[in-house]
Amino acid sequence: MTTPPPALLIAGHGTRDEAGAEAFRDFVRELGRRHPELPVAGGFIELSPPPLGDAVTELVERGVTRFAAVPLMLVSAGHAKGDIPAALSRERDRHPGISYTYGRPLGPHPALLNVLERRLDEVLGSSGRRPADRADVTVLLVGRGSTDPDANAEVHKAARLLWEGRGYAGVETAFVSLAAPDVPAGLDRCVRLGARRIVVLPYFLFTGILPERVRQQTEGWAAAHPEADVRCADVIGPEPELLDLVMERYQEAVRGDLRMNCDSCVYRIALPGFEDKVGMPQQPHFHPDDDGHDHGHHGPHGHHHGGHAHAH
């Protein structure tokens, strides 16, 4: 008898924006439709229903004993490094007999960079063709922002990869929360660097409170600088490339081929100003809709990144 493949669990952050939460839920349903051979479920660690614990319970009730969890997140910040692994450890305690592997976040990945390029083409009116005047376009890639310097550095990496070989005047980086520069400061920098046309590009998967804040801040800055040609692009969205990438991360997790970068992780390396985070125990978020029977905080939980354990 052939052993069924592990199920797929999608772990999302959560948003107070219902359209963004529904976009996540639609995405999970579409994955299930595309892969009828796999049980697929998804949940959030905070802010939105369903909680991640309900998604695990759904899989268990469908007879699942093994699953691979993929964080639907672009960068490896505290949620991907700590909150989700701690929540998964809690679910293993709640459901004795289950086992899981944990995948890595999505970006930066060439497939997503191609989607970002497409979003820029849409704004520039090139109908998918490579515009001849990209040399006049400066892109401001705007990430979520984090207190984790490693996560912020990953946004800079995505910006550099987007710049390379595509002919833009430059790709600068800003953040909408928790990290500098913010959107107005990022736009100021673009102007100081001589930008003629600027496209603000939200580095987000789906719509939500923060991407809308990016748009509002862009519009506010543009109104105060009528001499500047500033436009705002759309989020990545549930594109086929994103669906395929999640399955790629699933297959990596199933094979144990994770290749996680740990060289600049604040939980392993004493980075200046973050020395107190080394070895810090991680605790799961407690979702307000999670009515599980265990509401005690767990101690430190290690999880494995490509053959070595993180005490995240």
Residues 250 and 224 in one domain: no
Residue 7 is encoded by which pair of tokens?
């199920």
**CATH code for position 170:** 3.40.50.1400
Assigned domain for 20 exists: yes
Assigned domain for 225 exists: yes
Q: Which amino acid is at 78?
A: G
Q: Does pTM surpass 0.85?
A: no
Question: How many structural domains compose the chain?
Answer: 2
For residues 110 and 166, is the Cβ–Cβ distance under 8 A? no
The H or E element that residue 249 is part of is helix 240-255
Beta bridge partners of 42: 10
For residues 266 and 148, is the Cβ–Cβ distance under 8 A? yes
Helix (H, G, I), strand (E, B) or coil at 67: strand
Give residue-wise pLDDT tens across range 245-266. 999 999 999 998 766 555 456 6
Residues 196 and 100 in one domain: no
Q: Which amino acid is at 204?
A: F
Assigned domain for 307 exists: no
Give residue-wise pLDDT tens across range 95-152. 999 999 999 999 899 999 999 999 999 999 864 445 557 999 999 999 999 999 999 9
Tell which residue, 194, 80, 93, 58, has the closest CA to residue 146. Answer: 80
Assigned domain for 213 exists: yes
Q: How far is CA 80 from CA 9, 62, 69, 289, in A?
A: 14, 26, 11, 20
Assigned domain for 291 exists: no
- Provide the domain limits for residue 71: 7-107+240-277
Assigned domain for 167 exists: yes
